[in-house]
Amino acid sequence: MRRHGPLRWLLLPVETKHRELDAKLWLGCCAVERGYGVILGEMDELHEKYLALPRGICLDKSIASGKLKALRRMHRAGYRLCVNDEEALMAYNYPQRFLDSRLSSESLSMTAFFFAWGERQAELVRGAYPEYADRVHTVGNPRVDLLATQLRELYAGEANGIRERIGRYILLPSNFCDLLHVNGPDFRLKQARAAGLVRNEDDVRMHAERRVHRQRVLDAFVEALHSIRHRFPDHALVVRPHPADDPDQWRHLVAGIDRCQVLYEGAAIPWLLGADAIFHNGCTTAVEAVLLGKRPISYHPFWDDRFEYHFQARVGSSVDKIESLLDILRTVIEAEPEERQADDRGLGRYIRVTPDRTAAEATLDLLARLESKPRRLEYTWLNPNYARSRILAAGKRLERRLRRRLRRQPIAERKPEPLKLQKWPSTALGEMEERLQRLRDVSGRFSDVRVTHLEGRLFILTSDTQS
């Protein structure tokens, strides 16, 4: 159905489906309960079709420098822009890099609210941009709601299914996309240049030194997998690639290790829940594991202060020798479930966790302060903005074809960017309905919320009581 309203509208762009979609669906359902219509879906597609959509609030996943053009267009069109940065943990590992690449004075000037994961992130942003301090609010992130409340039961059945299929397993969530990136080994450097983070030869040299360091760490992790295979013969080993990793490169690295699988399936949460033990190097899933009541192990066989993920290394347990890793893996595996938990009390200032008032509720309480007039969704040719959006999209497609021809790119190579395919695999309406039903079953809410397909990778959430 392409006509709805008039309603107040909330737009929820999603960059990485397996990481964000369930949390955005949870937030969107809560918003529908408060009278909003919600449009959620793949980030780039939503940004491309902004002209055809009803003006409202857009809660984006970042206001990074690379998104300024899109932010300017949406701001000029009349959207109220807000942000809850999905890469917020960068603020705790590399504060200056976070400030340089993830926000700017211009992007904050267009942002009504900057939602921080924790008070430490909020203090960092307020200190760097005091003129916008009143726009910065600590709410947490709806992803945390799925970890630290009863909503984690969303994944219990899937976690049990994984255990039945694989058996007992030890999980390695990868954080090596700087070396194994699906878009090629030079992509990270190109990305850093585009973000203005590589300004001179010293920066290029630093990037090269980081690659050398990370390669040593990766080699040590492959060796660790061999050692773990020998020490724990009854356990399967599962490598979960980073969303930007090339899984085939991981398969090549572990090809000689018996019962070691490389699997990137669904959200990380059920894989964390099902694992007997988790070890990593700087992976965000370590923080998710702690919030799930797990005790992740940070293994850092080589340490260089310039390149480490200090925050992730502090959660759970931390070791720097292979024998120490093997010993603590055994301790965690043999412990009673309640003894496997890490102490999460130190996370408070970094990640807001208050189950009695979820991040979704805190976010919507603040969004209620923004003026947002009820508008109709008219996603048809009767809407002049829809027609204009279609014409602009056709022009962009033609431009891309002409560029490929100018580069004389063979037809066989004209494929969608592999990173986009990994970040947002195909999603049918039936899958969205199943996700919504699971959310109803676990929360006991949202019985009158309906999901419909708008177009492509975009979906609409509305209530039966809304016109």
DSSP for 342-355, written as a single string: ---GGGTTTS---T
Please indicate, yes or no, if residue 415 is contained in any of the structural domains: yes
Same domain, 64 and 203: no
Judgement on whether residues 338 and 189 belong to the same structural domain of the protein = yes
45 and 12 in contact (C-beta within 8 Å)?
Answer: no
Q: What is the mean pLDDT of residues 251-277?
A: 96
Provide the pLDDT confidence category of residue 292 given band limits of 50, 70 and 90. Answer: very high
Same domain, 97 and 234: no
Region 128-157 average pLDDT: 95
Tally the domains of the chain. Answer: 2
The gap from C-alpha 325 to its chain's centroid, in whole angstroms, comes to: 28
Cis status, amide bond into 6, omega within 30 of 0 = yes
pLDDT in tens, 33-55: 999 999 999 999 999 999 999 99
Give the integer Cα–Cα distance in Å for 91 and 64.
13
Q: pLDDT digit string (tens) for 311-364?
A: 999 888 999 999 999 999 999 999 876 666 666 667 889 999 987 899 999 999
Residues 284 and 305 reside in one and the same domain: yes
Gap between the Cα atoms of 417 and 405, Å rounded: 17
Note down the domain range covering 11: 3-145+353-463
Q: What is the pLDDT of residues 86-110, one digit of tens each?
A: 999 999 999 999 999 999 999 999 9
DSSP 66-125: GGHHHHHHHHHHT-EEEEE-TTTTHHHH-HHHHHHHH--HHHHHTEEEEEESSHHHHHHH
Residue 467, token pair as written in the block: 């016109």
The last residue of a domain, from among 297, 315, 344: 344
Which residue carries 């970890």 as its tokens? 147
- Do 141 and 196 lie in one domain? The reply is no
pLDDT for residue 467 is more than 90: no
Do 295 and 374 have their domain in common? no
Examine residue 219 and state whether it is found in any structural domain, yes or no: yes
Cα(448)–Cα(458) distance, rounded to whole angstroms? Answer: 20
4-8, 175-179, 421-425 — most confident range: 175-179
Task: Say if residue 339 is in the same domain as residue 362.
Answer: no
Residues 10 and 38 occupy one common structural domain: yes
Instruction: Provide mean pLDDT across the span 188-215.
Output: 88
Q: Considering 306, 325, 344, which residue would you say is the last residue of a domain? A: 344
- pLDDT at residue 370 above 80? yes
Which residues sit opposite 181 in a β-bridge? 245
- Would you state the structure tokens that stand for residue 82, as one six-digit string? 């807000």
In CATH, what number is assigned to the domain containing residue 361? 3.40.50
Q: Say whether pLDDT at 413 is over 60.
A: no
pLDDT of residue 412: 41
Q: Where residue 268 sits, what CATH number does that domain have?
A: 3.40.50.2000
Checking if the pLDDT of 291 tops 90, the result is yes
Quickly list DSSP for 188-212: HHHHHHHTT---SHHHHHHHHHHHH
> How far is the CA of 157 from the CAs of 163, 274, 436, in angstroms?
10, 10, 15
Higher pLDDT: 292 or 194? It is 292
Strands 458-463 and 36-42: antiparallel
DSSP one-letter code for 55: P
Among 224, 173, 202, residue whose Cα is nearest residue 306 = 202
Residue 22 domain flag: yes
Q: pTM of the full predicted structure?
A: 0.93
pLDDT at 62 over 60: yes
Note whether residue 337 is domain-resident: yes
Same domain, 187 and 302: yes
Whether 111 and 246 map to the same domain: the answer is no
Pair (434, 314) in one structural domain: no
Place of tokens 């660790």: 224
Q: 151 in a domain, yes or no?
A: no
Same domain? For 337 and 361 the reply is: no
Q: Is the pLDDT of residue 229 over 70?
A: yes
Residue 407 pLDDT class (50, 70, 90 cuts):
low
In-domain check, residue 153:
no
Among residues 344, 362, 396, the one where a domain terminates is: 344
Q: Is residue 154 part of a domain?
A: no
- Classify residue 15: in a domain, yes or no: yes
